[in-house]
Structure 1
Amino acid sequence: MYTATESVQSYRSSRHRNMALGALLLASFLGTADVFIIIAALPSIEKAFGAEFADTQFVATAYTLAYACTLVTGGRLGDMLGRKRVFLTGATAFAVAALGCATAGSVGVLVAIRVVQGIAAGLMLPQVLSIIRTTFPLPTQARAVSLYGAALGVATVCGQALAGLLLRADPLRLGWRTVFLVDLLPVVVIVAATMRLVPDSKAAVAARLPRLSPLLLAAGLAAVLVPLANGAARGWTREYVASVVVGSIVLTAFIFREFRVADRGSATLLPATALRDRTFGLGILTVFIYYSGTAALNMLLSYFLQSGLHRDPLTAGLQFAPLGIGFMVGSLLAGRVTNVRRVPLPVIGCSIMALTRLLMLFAVTHTGFAQLAVLEAALLITGVAQGFVVAPMIAATLGRAGVDEAGAASGTVMTISNIAVAFGVAGLGGVFLATTTRWGSVIGFSTVLLVMAALAVAAAVSSFTVTRPGTAAAQQKGSQ
């Protein structure tokens, strides 16, 4: 078993490093693409089971909810037990759950198995960034993180496009079930490559997982996120409101307990070295604002294209190709350029995103060739802008935590992003449903775009302190 320092030294000269990175990136691609695959398949699932939008929306959010509730604990388990071991456990469970989804006989069963798959992803995916942080030499980490961002960009386009192709071709005559079966072969490749190529690592100082903290975090997140995912579509009942209140209290208790445990010098679930770091906190806030304003775009645009403009799943899925291509290009560029005239790339990216939301607003309110051309251009520019934001923001935030807490820090950042996804999908989905019911899908989607533009501006403002040149230099020095 390697410690974090030993694994970096032994892996620095390994000729297999790029192949190992490929296996890790394939896992990130799969976990991300799975979200977008199900988004494209929602109308087909809705039709197959005779369900309503509220039911199928929860099929999509159940995965991210369970994922969000598991990420921090999964990351900390990797620090403690070995990041490779936990990664392989999560990957195997992910494939088993995918097979279960493909055989589900009802929406309820499908939602339940998606929860299991989300938990598996919560064990697997935090290890990707923590393995990069702890086993890759420092000079190659920026390139690896930028490739990580590029993999996410490819996943956004391949997920929906692949789902559209599978739903149209339906080679096994299984309809929407086919979209889950495509997870199986990639996981076999990931497990085989990881077992052979990826070195294991864990924190140099052994620590026990706090007994109460994981339960408090999972219970609090579930109590808050389930109503967020369901309340807007099904109506805010007294039970939902009470659940949010109780969940907020539990999460507050969890945070205070983490501070007290850190003050005593005992093991924490969150990264202890970053708990009192204001820049880490601001980075977390920026991640939340950013994902709140971007997460709902794919689902609502896909739903608008299929239900509002009556396009088939393949055509709607292919509309997202420029977004994924742009994200990949922006992420690769972000690995080479940190700022332009002392303005950090995330600030530039968020500002551009605000403008592209207005460009999309023009596209959805016009018809014919202009609508298609402007929408595709807006998605391409949006993708590049998002690539400017994600990898630099993740790297800047993770840099505030120590190497031995790489898994916990990675899990924390990813948890916040997934909470923001659920918050954005629930909140903006509710806005979309309310305005669409009253004024139609064009007005509904236009309203959502204006809210997204405002959130992009807020993310640009909050990201300036986290990623400005002085702060980045300080964090780089501290990580060494």
Structure 2
Amino acid sequence: MTAPTVEPVKPAEPAEPAEPAEPAEPVEPVRTVPLSPVSPTARAVRTASPAAPHPARALTGAGLAVLLLAYLPVNMTFGSVNLLEPAITADLGVTVSGGQLVLSAYTTAFAATLVVAGRLGDRFGRRRLLAAGVGAFGVASVLAALAPDLVALVALRAVLGVAAGLFTPQVLSTIQATAPERLRVLGVTLFAAVGGIATVTGQLLAGAVSQSAGDHWGWRLVQMVTGAIGAVALLALRTVPESRSAAPLSLDLRGAALLGTGLLLVVVPLTLGTSAGGPAPVLAMLAAGGAVLAVFARSQRAAERRDELPVVPPSVLRAPAVRQGLIMTLLFFTGYGAFLYEFSALSQGAFGVDAWGAVVMLLGFGAAFVVTAVALPAIEHRTGRWTMTGAAVGQAAVLLVLALAVSGAHGDTPSALQPLLILLGVSQALMYGPVLRTVLSRTPTWAAGVAGGLFTTLQQLGLGLGVALLGGLFHAVSTASADGPGAGLPHGFAVAVAVQAALALAFAFLASRIARAGAPVTA
């Protein structure tokens, strides 16, 4: 699932006439918004005064299909490799932490790239960035499929994350900038739906291919298939119109580089744990990551004082609804990413099923999520602004019951878990669906675009941290079991899921504060 990235509000240009757009490259209309009189960031996003011309070429239904096809491999690769992590570790002869690093390298690099990729598309052309990102994604997918060892695979997965982060913001930005009104509404709806469907599709693909191709070739062929989907989209990209912003935001490449470096220095040691050579290297990397992130925070404050728009504006984070929403996003996706990882490992290690069997066990969860997401407007009509709070409390309860059921595992446990997994899919859809829309409706107008980009970044970071932190806890408890790692998997799962229940309760607390906040903030 990927939360929609909201198109940033446009900043001021010098008082010179704007150059006319080329016929083949429509310029997005500039929007006038109310500004906060006290925020430096609000002053930094003043719009250009002249209205931009209407697009010379509008997005068509065929172009929308190509955009969604290009976006499909983004979550497919996370869902598929999540399921195939045991096969990857067995094939490459590496530890469990090495397999976790394969997952975290993708999501962390993805998160670090997202913060500036949207601004690159605004400045240099969205279709151009889309083509570069999708092309790089396809090449890196094929090379990752041929990776001979862990080092090469982790490096190529990081490249995949950078490529995905480069083109993902361009998909929704192109829809918003070039689609006619009716197609724009449909496109945004389908964009949100494809994010969830892609994760399930990736798992189905992984299970089907690995069952027929085996551990060695299975995960490699899946990587090639996701790359091939990107290649098909790239060949059809001529149906998508080029566009760029008449008033592109400043890039803040220094801030983006500091943020990416800091995130990597934190996530990598958390993923590797003691396999990095003992506690000393882990602590050293964490300390270095903390220092880099401190420099990043200082650079963001300094940029804002200069009336620039940094990648993470401090004044945006000071808005309570934005700050709480970002924390909720991180909490949700940390638990979501961890659960998919842990349940896949539990199914294959403790219940004796193969990758396809693990997919079948999660079909009820995925189907419940999709059906609930479709029915969400009708549900919210009855539950109102307390939807997220109730769903989060319900998820915590389901997770605790699931922990108890798995810790007392018997032969019939897989089938007995299905009602709980279906309830979990329902509660997660009710949490995920409203959070971005609800929080942005309570965000000052000038901060909407920035806040939307930060949500997407925190989503990807949460997926990586879930695998690194809770996945690491899951394996640590399992390994420490007196009966051996395999027999200890249910206990490790129960402990990790109990922590995820605590995350859901923290989400519920923040959601209740937002629900009590009342009317949206306008500016």
TM-score (norm 1): 0.87
Residue 112 of structure 2 corresponds to residue 88 of structure 1: no
Matches within 5 A, 1:145-156: 145-156=188-199
Contact 1:58 1:229 in 2 (8 A): yes
Mark the CA change 1:275 to 1:441 in structure 2 (over 3 Å): closer, same or farther.
closer
Residue 499 of structure 2 corresponds to residue 442 of structure 1: no
Residue 50 of structure 2 corresponds to residue 2 of structure 1: no
Residue 131 of structure 2 corresponds to residue 107 of structure 1: no
| 1:95-134 C-alpha deviation (Å, 9 max, x unpaired) | 0100101111112211111111111011012333444555
- Match for residue 421 of structure 1? 463
C-alpha displacement of 1:459: 0.8
- Match for residue 502 of structure 2? 454
Matches within 5 A, 1:124-203: 124-135=167-178, 144-170=187-213, 174-198=217-241, 200-202=243-245
- Match for residue 49 of structure 1? 92
Distance across 2 between alignment mates of 1:276 and 1:145: 28
Among 333, 337, 342, the alignment partner of 2:375 is 333
- Match for residue 347 of structure 1? 389
| 1:11-69 C-alpha deviation (Å, 9 max, x unpaired) | 799682x5444333333331111012112222222222222212222112211121122
C-alpha displacement of 1:172: 13
Contact 2:107 2:463 in 1 (8 A): yes
Distance across 1 between alignment mates of 2:162 and 2:126: 16
Mark the CA change 1:6 to 1:22 in structure 2 (over 3 Å): closer, same or farther.
farther
Mark the CA change 1:394 to 1:87 in structure 2 (over 3 Å): closer, same or farther.
farther
Tell me which amino acid in the other structure corresponds to 2:492.
Answer: G
Distance across 2 between alignment mates of 1:436 and 1:305: 14
Tell me which amino acid in the other structure corresponds to 2:288.
Answer: V
Contact 1:432 1:448 in 2 (8 A): yes
C-alpha displacement of 1:283: 1.0
Distance across 1 between alignment mates of 2:178 and 2:323: 26
| 1:309-363 C-alpha deviation (Å, 9 max, x unpaired) | 2211111122121222222222222355545343343223322221221232244
Tell me which amino acid in the other structure corresponds to 1:22.
Answer: A
- Match for residue 77 of structure 1? 120
Mark the CA change 1:345 to 1:139 in structure 2 (over 3 Å): closer, same or farther.
farther
C-alpha displacement of 1:428: 1.0
Mark the CA change 1:426 to 1:171 in structure 2 (over 3 Å): closer, same or farther.
closer
- Match for residue 34 of structure 2? none
Distance across 2 between alignment mates of 1:119 and 1:171: 29
Contact 2:74 2:164 in 1 (8 A): yes
Contact 2:477 2:492 in 1 (8 A): yes
Distance across 1 between alignment mates of 2:247 and 2:314: 14
- Match for residue 264 of structure 1? 306
Distance across 1 between alignment mates of 2:418 and 2:28: 44
Tell me which amino acid in the other structure corresponds to 1:170.
Answer: A
- Match for residue 119 of structure 1? 162
- Match for residue 16 of structure 2? none
Residue 368 of structure 2 corresponds to residue 320 of structure 1: no
Distance across 1 between alignment mates of 2:329 and 2:372: 17
Distance across 2 between alignment mates of 1:240 and 1:183: 33
Contact 1:12 1:136 in 2 (8 A): no
C-alpha displacement of 1:192: 4.1
- Match for residue 299 of structure 1? 341
Contact 1:157 1:323 in 2 (8 A): no
- Ranges in structure 2 where 5+ consecutive residues have no aligned partner: 1-24, 32-51, 482-487
C-alpha displacement of 1:429: 1.7
- Match for residue 46 of structure 2? none
Contact 1:68 1:416 in 2 (8 A): yes
Higher-Rg member (1/2): 2
- Ranges in structure 1 where 5+ consecutive residues have no aligned partner: none
Distance across 2 between alignment mates of 1:432 and 1:28: 31
TM-score (norm 2): 0.81
**Cα RMSD over matched residues?**
3.2
- Match for residue 265 of structure 2? 223
C-alpha displacement of 1:79: 3.0
Decide which moves more: 58-67 or 395-404: 395-404
